A and B are shown apart, each in its own frame.
Chain A
């Protein structure tokens, strides 16, 4: 049996999978990066791995999608399209795979149909396999993506999101599969998306078998996470029961919440009589050896808590959200509350909110609600905007049952029934004017934007523009290894840093002394290609000044709000300013929208009055207690 070569027609790919004697492996490098390294594995490392990954003979390399598109431009400063183009040059035969969140694309909220279609069209130029899911398993939310992938001649891999509990029966999932096939036709791969790594091997084996019984010709791709350390058991059960593709990662980089090591999967299944089709084991091993040294530079992004988390079966957080959740807990200083949040409150909230699938953006709603419930005292007392939207049915109908009425009342207010009646249900999101958006972007960057730039801008307007400006200023920085790009602390004087730039020219930079002049301006001396250059940095505000600023308590922030001094209730970014200076507001009116952990929460004025000052702009990162706006009582 041969590996499947990039460029093969979708119907051919599906036909080859149907008759495969054995199973294929997808290298989920993206999911590994997201689950275990907060999405920070740099293109530099993927480029190092590319030659041996190409030879390894994977079904596909999952290398884009999920949160990675955003993190690429926000924290890795790499163009997600350029990334795919450069990897394609080194990996001509390997199919590239993405994870697409249906209407939410690579973000957290539904996009207009024309944005979805435009985005899929542009990415489909590089991406062969489209794994698409919806956290409510609401199939209409995925339809536009299915259609565009089909039109582009690429492979649709729709998901059924998997979870556990009394409602999550084989019968339910088999019906979901039928509903998907009704829309897509049969030339697809079906993904069982086990983003939490939930259930026992036996449970997964049963589910694969149940689907196989109903749809014997449907190739099944099992996607799991190794959070509890047992995904190899589930993978084995899936393959034994007829799954044709499974997900695994490069062993030297595997951690706790991402995919399990591919070599272990291969060895385990070999003894059971199942061949990894097309796989060159030596190349699999070589990949791990090539990138092993790089892992040390990503240490800052590994989980705050080491070790497997078998309790995932209780809290059900998806592997892709584990790292960021723990990071938030560590930064927010409530790591000690995690047992309560994870093992008591999260399962309770899940049950109360309908036992839907804990995956983006649904997992963030569960998580923020559980955190707020534990830290905020009163349960559902401080609901996020997204929880409100969930209850209003903006994401789709609850799959099994609706939350109880008291929760609606807590979140939507006393007249919740009226609110639900008036605002409930999914919104028709109107198409946006792409030409106007394009000219807005052109104006912001000062030149004609490319289609790819427009796609990124439509996903993340502020971050995309910042990224384009970064590129102009600093060039193509993916050429820098993590030992430079993620370096912590100062370099030692005399350190030689060498790299080859985007155009192929080699450079060597020797770090010289840093001197502070009388004005507090720092001059960094670097010998760039044997010629000295000086880089000046303005003095920074004294670290002591910020540290000395008193941290306001929650009560103090509330008290200030009641006097019209609106402060940030928590740490987060301003994503919208809803008022203008001079505008009249009523008590309870939204002044701004803040975003933390991908969830949006409205900031409201406690009093009626006139907005006199706005102290923030969209995109600002605020600490708790930071000034947002002032409202003067109108007399």
Chain B
């Protein structure tokens, strides 16, 4: 019997993982919640297990997922990103149930998921870090620690939940008064969200570039990197556009960052694929931020420029195989850009467009174009999950070629029903700073004109609207 691997996720990443599973000639098992019953990831799997009515809680239910794996005889689980991907309890439950968890060990996830432990490990390894505190003490003592940190490093300062991540549980503090006010609020929020009210402080790097390094490590301790990615273009700390490699011209600096990432991974006994995130300030000093112990949404750009299938590699490593390539085998070729096509209205503060039906879905194709999506014509976007419809990744030999390919692909997209981020992205690809490769995390704030666009329909759409009306009414109300 073929080996089965269960994918404990939904949407595009579930499909991405299933493709790798199928290429390895294993069977893919899907899980789903009721609102996802029409999702394409179910159709692609050999088997699918309904976890419950959800929403979200069943995808987060460790017990149900382990049970689904056991019932279907899956030998391994790939968690994707989000949901249980960085939950050490889930990794641990897999280990205890004799199921392979495709990712690092629960201990590594636990250590790196705890920002304070992670910072301590990195400090010991001599990794440069943004000045920060350990967990603040409870009560007034903690506030005093915070105020003296502020006195030493100055505002702005980021107040972070120790167990937070992915942009959640962080707030910007700009004064002592605000610090006093926000610490208890942050604590109670962290308690509610992560069941842990620990918080700590970090000096804010103003308008940094966000650069991260893809690393891969096997169980024998071989750790290599797959180059950098720039994820600076974000909204509300959520990435929208990712670019590989970083557009920083200083190659020695990028090499130094990559070597630092490898060192950080080794220091934390990392295995499988992971991402080391750095902030780079305006003087090109870089600071360790965190290690994400999962496959990233934006892993596609790295795959495009290295030719390495990261998810396939993840599975092979988890099944105990050693790395089949060395650092010297890794060549970075050209540029890749990924845009997350979301069902959101950028002009309404990225309001999600869930609940709408995709009445038309036509996607671009051709040389250097990759699509990782899961929607289809007639699909109604569930309101209870995220708004990502499809990731458009383009690859080109030069940066200019890549940007023009990206522009062409965005124009070739034809999605009707929900509003999408496409018209907004079309503005971005025409922006002179973007074309120069000059952006940091303040990009959207400093380029408000990107939000000025009109929803345009092409002539065929407009004329067919009139023809539909003539047909519907049996006469042309604008002519008679």
Contacts and interface: CB of A to CB of B under 8 A. Distances in A.
A473 B360 contact: no
A511 B471 contact: yes
A576 to B, nearest CB: 24
A561 B337 CA distance: 71
Interface residues of B, number: 27
A615 interface: no
Contacts of B479: 40, 75-77, 485-486
A528 B478 contact: no
A40 B414 CA distance: 35
Interface in A301-357: none
Given A528-B464, A535-B472, 7 more contacts: A474-B478, A475-B457, A480-B467, A485-B479, A490-B471, A499-B463, A509-B460
Interface stretch (A170-178, A242-250, A500-508, A590-598): A500-508
B466 A474 contact: yes
Contacts, number: 99
Contacts of A531: 360, 362, 414
B459 A502 contact: yes
Across chains A and B, which 3 residue pairs bring their CB atoms closest together, nearest first?
Answer: A475-B462, A535-B468, A501-B459
B269 interface: no
Contacts of B480: 75, 300
B438 to A, nearest CB: 31
B469 interface: yes
A624 B343 CA distance: 49
B462 A490 contact: no
B302 to A, nearest CB: 34
Contacts of B416: 533
Nearest to A476: B459
Interface string A52-87: 000000000000000000000001110000000000
A526 B459 CA distance: 15
A233 to B, nearest CB: 36
Nearest to B456: A472
A479 interface: yes
A480 B460 CA distance: 11
Nearest to A506: B460
A532 interface: yes
Most chain B CB within a 10 A radius of its CB, from A470, A477, A502, A526 = A477
A526 B416 CA distance: 14
Contacts of B464: 507, 509, 526, 528, 533, 535
B465 interface: yes
A532 B461 CA distance: 11
Contacts of B463: 474-475, 477, 479-480, 499, 501, 507, 509
Contacts of A522: 472
B362 to A, nearest CB: 6
B347 interface: no
B360 A514 contact: no
B475 interface: yes
Nearest to B377: A532
A497 interface: yes
Given A40-B479, A528-B460, A533-B360, A491 B466 contact: no
Most chain A CB within a 10 A radius of its CB, from B460, B470, B471, B479 = B471
A489 to B, nearest CB: 5
Interface of A: 40, 75-77, 300, 470, 473-477, 479-480, 484-491, 497, 499, 501-503, 505, 507, 509, 511, 514, 522, 524, 526, 528-529, 531-535, 537
B195 interface: no
Most chain B CB within a 10 A radius of its CB, from A476, A505, A528, A532 = A528
Contact of A474 (B377, B414, B465): B465
Interface in B227-253: none
Contacts of A505: 459-460
B139 interface: no
A79 to B, nearest CB: 14
12 contacts: A300-B480, A473-B462, A474-B465, A475-B457, A475-B463, A480-B466, A488-B474, A491-B471, A514-B472, A526-B467, A531-B414, A533-B461
Interface in B386-432: 414, 416
A158 B219 CA distance: 97
Contacts of B467: 480, 484, 491, 497, 509, 526
Contacts of B175: none
B476 interface: yes
Given A473-B465, A533-B359, A533-B416, A524 B460 contact: no
B474 A490 contact: yes
Contacts of B468: 524, 526, 535, 537
Contacts of A489: 474-475
Contacts of A499: 463
A524 to B, nearest CB: 4
A470 B457 CA distance: 13
Given A488-B474, A526-B467, A528-B464, A503 B459 contact: yes
A501 B460 CA distance: 7
Contacts of A528: 460-461, 464
Interface string B92-111: 00000000000000000000
A75 B479 CA distance: 4
A470 B377 CA distance: 28
Nearest to B457: A475
Most chain B CB within a 10 A radius of its CB, from A40, A470, A490 = A490
A503 B462 CA distance: 13
B363 to A, nearest CB: 12
Contact of B470 (A75, A300, A487): A487
Nearest to A479: B463
Contacts of A497: 467
A73 B266 CA distance: 73
Most chain A CB within a 10 A radius of its CB, from B359, B362, B463, B480 = B463
Contacts of A526: 464, 467-468, 471
Contacts of B362: 531
A477 B478 CA distance: 11
Given A40-B479, A490-B471, A524-B471, A535 B465 contact: yes
A476 B457 CA distance: 12
A531 B472 CA distance: 19
Contact of B469 (A76, A479, A535): A535
A526 B466 CA distance: 11
Contacts of B470: 484-485, 487, 491
A507 B464 CA distance: 10
Interface in B434-480: 457, 459-472, 474-476, 478-480
Nearest to A508: B460
Contact of B462 (A474, A524, A537): A474
A300 B474 CA distance: 14
A485 B471 CA distance: 10
B138 to A, nearest CB: 56
B90 to A, nearest CB: 42
Contacts of A477: 463, 466
Nearest to A499: B463
B480 to A, nearest CB: 7
A497 B464 CA distance: 10
Given A524-B471, A535-B468, A535-B469, A470 B478 contact: yes
Nearest to A497: B467
A172 B468 CA distance: 57
A475 B459 contact: yes
Contacts of B462: 473-475
Given A474-B466, A509-B467, A524 B472 contact: yes
Contacts of A300: 480
B148 to A, nearest CB: 55
A178 B83 CA distance: 93
